[in-house]
Chains A and B, each alone.
Chain A
């Protein structure tokens, strides 16, 4: 009985099937943060709900906490480094915008064209914040769930 922790097999199977669309939707929200509502915070939280779903249905998830905290620090450090790179003009200067390089296509005033290769450093910052939010929220969930079991 101790090995059969968690919910029934139906719930476990549905969780496994749902994990793919949830991940894709979270990544979509993060990557399209500069085009549609959403962004790093919302997308990271959506992917972290997947960890909550697995914790509830399976009872335990083997995710290494050390690497999650490393990922969290990595996201925050990448965000701050991106802010510091543009320091030659100003803090948080968008040095990639309108540069015709990575995410550098220029945008004209008007309605949303929905072209992904725009935004300068905003998509990169969205990725960094998404990584940080995902790992921070999953770390919190994992630790709280483990504390619940030990009692």
Chain B
């Protein structure tokens, strides 16, 4: 019992220290990439929406993964529910 309370106290202290040592909101430590996107995103991609330019141009690989994931989900559901109908 005392052992559980000890572990709980250690965990609480750990989380408290972790929360307190987060750097302040809105002040990232490394801003080179953000500054690059904000300064050059509109001119390079011709897209006024910087989020769209990151999503579909700079980080397009990530969007391919997302689209493939949705495709896989639809295929899986197709397999599951079609097998049910054939029984």
Contacts and interface: CB of A to CB of B under 8 A. Distances in A.
Interface of A: 33-37, 39, 41, 65, 69, 72-73, 75-76, 79-80, 83, 91-92, 94, 97-98, 103-110, 112-114, 118-122, 125-126, 129, 132-133, 136-137, 139-140, 143-144, 146-147, 150
B52 A126 contact: yes
Residues of B contacting A: mostly: helix
A15 to B, nearest CB: 24
A36 B44 contact: no
Interface of B: 39, 42-49, 51-53, 55-58, 60-61, 63-64, 66-68, 70-71, 73-74, 77-78, 81-82, 84-85
B48 to A, nearest CB: 4
B45 A76 contact: no
Contacts, number: 128
The 6 closest A-B pairs by CB, nearest first: A92-B60, A97-B46, A136-B74, A34-B47, A143-B81, A119-B47
A33 B64 contact: no
Nearest to B38: A109
Contact of B45 (A83, A120, A126): A120
Contact of A109 (B39, B52, B58, B64): B39
A117 B48 CA distance: 11
A104 B28 CA distance: 34
Given A83-B60, A91-B61, A121-B56, 17 more contacts: A34-B46, A35-B49, A37-B51, A39-B55, A69-B78, A79-B67, A94-B45, A98-B43, A103-B46, A108-B43, A119-B47, A120-B57, A122-B46, A125-B60, A126-B52, A137-B74, A139-B78
A92 B53 contact: no
A114 to B, nearest CB: 7
B41 to A, nearest CB: 9
A122 B67 CA distance: 15
B45 A122 contact: yes
A104 B56 contact: no
Contacts of A139: 74, 77-78
Given A129-B63, A136-B70, A109 B42 contact: yes
A105 B43 contact: no
